[in-house]
Chains A and B, each alone.
Chain A
């Protein structure tokens, strides 16, 4: 045997592999530099610019942005007309998140615990399929569905259950001539559009709860309800929180659904859209945009304190 212990390098790829083997950090640096540049400069940079803008103010006569630090813009947020927008948006986001969580849980639970093979494929397809069509198309489709002459109204008339819709539409605060012009309609479309973002993380979290954990709970004498409360829910909580971050923040920032469906009451996203566009009030638009960020930070801090991430 005369073969040498070290084989000759065959080309650039060999030499690069050898370099990465001798200096593992070089590869890591090469891989991480582009995304970190993107994250650092483009993403965090623009976020900082946004924050900066929110501390400027606008000269009410000339409409020119004054580049001096002031909290004046934030105090404007507290004016009743603006504060109403904040309360309305946060209430809607909370209601949408809660409804999504309640609707998503059984679906996610079925997919994680029972669905196998074809059923699992059907689940993924069913959840993802709505995401493949245009958001605008779906929203306008819902406008037709919810309209007075739409399929829901027609079905209710045929089954003599129109009184249900009528009584919902006569609840103080939700009064309207049809679902498509009522806040109830806005809520329904929000829930429909964001539901997949709640199901998927929930399903992933539930899938990580081993079956033996549920069996152990039953073995120790727990009823199904007790197992759900003391084992399933705490272990699935990180997934529920992840899903609620999606539904909550997406609702907080959306400006299209409340424009097309509902009574045209202003939401944060719509306010930002109008303020930076027609009104040219960039500082106030920025201040509005900071609100969802703050709310999410508070929400995460609370969730963390409640131990939502202990099982991670």
Chain B
């Protein structure tokens, strides 16, 4: 499998050279062809800037970006064989759905009959065959999202970039679109690069993901890697709802004196144990109850599955867990 996108020590700084804002700083990244790659991070972490560096809307201030081996440093967006699904969809309001989808073919000089045929084909792929004559303003959010997808895919891009494409949809539609996007990506065998701040979305859809923090990549790996073996406290904290144990608490709980992450679902309540604490909060989640216990100065959450007894707030309890569930992250 070859490499679709490659970042070599890429930087994008804004503002004066004396006090630059380092939106992206020293990023190395390899995205394999045909993979579903997610860029995950809080807002301002540099993930969207990285996506815009691939599409060409931002120019790197340092380093090299290669798309399928070709250096694109001096290639403007319209000559790059990548397409973007924008966060706000950016559909052209004055064109109907068919003309929106056919836009990329039109500017490349394809004849009307041919480009409309291709556009209709693409609209069928996203289940909007009967909506070609409507204006974008007459569509729902989910439908606009599909039009944006069809408009990008009709150009047969080598890489499809998606900038938080599901952010504006409600939960139910979002989950349906997640499945659909994933299926579409598999079927077409295309490289998808997906930006999101939603860790569930990133974990469930991506083959491989990069977690961004302050313009740098904190960790890159498979969803399982990232979830089970976070490299840093930031990753452990951001991806999911892990407990982060300081070295002394880890040691008190039977581990070495290192920072450690412990998943709430791997944590069980016990009447007695090496460390006990007071229950400070209960959150009912349907499939279980999240119990927060104050252990010294650290809040530790445990997930009690539905049907098992839940302690009351203020009660004292301890925890037990399989030592293998404890993921160590060093002593600093």
Q: Report which A residues bind B (CB closer than 8 A).
A: 210, 212-213, 215-223, 226, 230-231, 234-235, 307, 310-311
Tell me if B116 is interfacial: C-beta within 8 Å of chain A.
no
CB neighbours (8 Å) of A307 from chain B are: 94
From the candidates A212, A213, A219, A310, name the one contacting B77 in the complex (CB within 8 A): A219
Q: In the complex the two chains form, is B151's CB within 8 Å of A212's CB?
A: no
B108 at the interface (CB under 8 A from A): yes
Q: Which chain B residue lies CB-closest to A212?
A: B90
Contact of B86 among A216, A222, A234, A311 (CB under 8 A): A216
Q: What is the CB-to-nearest-CB distance from B55 to chain A, in angstroms, rounded to a whole number?
A: 6
Contact between A210 and B104, CB atoms less than 8 A apart: no
List the interface of chain B (C-beta within 8 A of A).
Answer: 55-57, 76-79, 82-84, 86-88, 90-94, 103-104, 106-108, 151-152, 155
Q: Which residues of A contact B76 (CB under 8 A)?
A: 218
User: Would you give the shortest CB distance from B36 to chain A, in whole angstroms?
Assistant: 20
Asked if B94 contacts A218 (CB within 8 A), the reply is: no
Name the CB-closest residue of A to B103.
A220
CB distance from B95 to the nearest CB of A (A): 8
Question: Are B88 and A210 in touch, CB under 8 angstroms?
Answer: yes
CA distance A211 to B107 in the complex (A): 19
Residues on B with beta carbons closer than 8 Å to the beta carbon of A217: 92, 103, 107
Query: Which residue of chain A has its CB nearest to the CB of B87?
Result: A212
A219-B83 contact given A212-B88, A230-B107, CB 8 Å threshold = yes
Contact (Cβ within 8 A) B84 A216: yes
Identify B83's interface contact among A212, A220, A223, A311, CB under 8 A.
A220
B84 touching A219, Cβ below 8 Å: yes
Q: Shortest distance in angstroms between A308's beta carbon and chain B's nearest beta carbon?
A: 10
Contacts of A210 on B, CB cut-off 8 Å? 88, 90
Known A-B contacts A221-B155, A226-B107; the reply to A213 vs B78 at CB < 8 A is: no
**Contacts A218-B76, A218-B78; A223 near B107 (Cβ below 8 A):** yes
Q: Chain A CB within 10 Å — which of B55, B82, B104, B107 has the most?
A: B107
User: Which of B90, B107, B151 lies in contact with A215, CB distance below 8 A?
Assistant: B90
User: In the bound complex, how far is the Cα of B57 from the Cα of A177, in angstroms?
Assistant: 54
Contact status A219-B55, CB under 8 Å: yes
**Chain A residues with CB under 8 A of B104:** 220-221
> Which residue of the partner chain, among B77, B93, B108, contacts A218 with CB atoms under 8 Å?
B77
User: Quick check: A220 and B151 within 8 Å, CB to CB?
Assistant: yes
CB–CB A219/B94 < 8 A: no
From A213, A218, A219, A223, B92 is in contact (CB under 8 Å) with A213
Number of residue pairs spanning A and B whose beta carbons lie under 8 angstroms apart: 67
Residues of A within 8 A of B79 (CB): 221
B86-A221 in contact (CB<8A): no
Complex partner residue of B78 from A223, A231, A234, A310, CB under 8 angstroms: A223
Interfacial chain A residues near B155, Cβ < 8 Å: 220-221
What separation, in Å, do the CA atoms of A216 and B144 have in the docked complex? 14
Instruction: Let me know if B107 and A222 touch, CB within 8 A.
Output: yes
Bound-state CA distance A310–B93 (Å) is 9
| A126-B200 Cα distance, complex, nearest whole Å | 52
Closest approach, in angstroms, between the C-beta of A243 and any C-beta of chain B?
Answer: 19
CB distance from B260 to the nearest CB of A (A): 43
- Smallest CB–CB gap between B131 and chain A, Å? 18
Tell me, in angstroms, the Cα distance from A212 to B57 when the chains sit together.
Answer: 10
Give Cα distance in the complex from A208 to B31, angstroms: 36
CB distance from A212 to the nearest CB of B (A): 4
4 smallest CB-CB distances across A and B, nearest first, come from A220-B104, A216-B90, A212-B90, A222-B107
Residues of chain A within 8 A (CB-CB) of B57 are: 215, 218-219
A-B contact pairs, 18 of them (CB 8 A): A210-B88, A212-B87, A213-B92, A215-B77, A216-B84, A216-B86, A216-B91, A216-B92, A218-B78, A219-B55, A219-B57, A220-B103, A220-B151, A221-B78, A221-B79, A221-B155, A222-B78, A310-B94
Contact of B90 among A213, A230, A310 (CB under 8 A): A213
With A218-B78, A226-B107 known, 17 other A-B pairs at CB within 8 A are A212-B86, A212-B90, A213-B90, A215-B84, A216-B86, A217-B103, A217-B107, A218-B56, A219-B55, A219-B83, A219-B152, A220-B151, A221-B79, A221-B107, A221-B108, A223-B107, A230-B106
> Considering residues A216, A222, A234, A235, which has the most beta carbons from chain B within 10 angstroms of its beta carbon?
A216
Minimum CB–CB distance from B190 to chain A (whole Å) comes to 16
Residues of B within 8 A of A220 (CB): 78, 83, 103-104, 107, 151-152, 155
Instruction: Please state if A215 and B86 are interface contacts (CB–CB under 8 Å).
Output: yes
Distance from B6 Cβ to chain A, minimum over Cβ atoms (Å): 20
Distance A222 CA – B57 CA, assembled complex (angstroms): 14
- With A and B bound together, what is the CA distance between A311 and B135 in angstroms? 10
A73 to B118, CA, bound (A): 60
Min CB distance, B109 to chain A, in Å? 10
CB nearest neighbor in A for B102: A220
Q: How far is the CB of B74 from chain A (nearest CB, A)?
A: 15
Chain A residue at smallest Cβ distance from B55: A219
Contacts of B108 in A (CB 8 A): 221
Enumerate chain B residues within 8 angstroms of A235, measured Cβ to Cβ: 92-94
In the assembled complex, the CB of B114 is this many whole angstroms from the nearest CB of chain A, namely 16
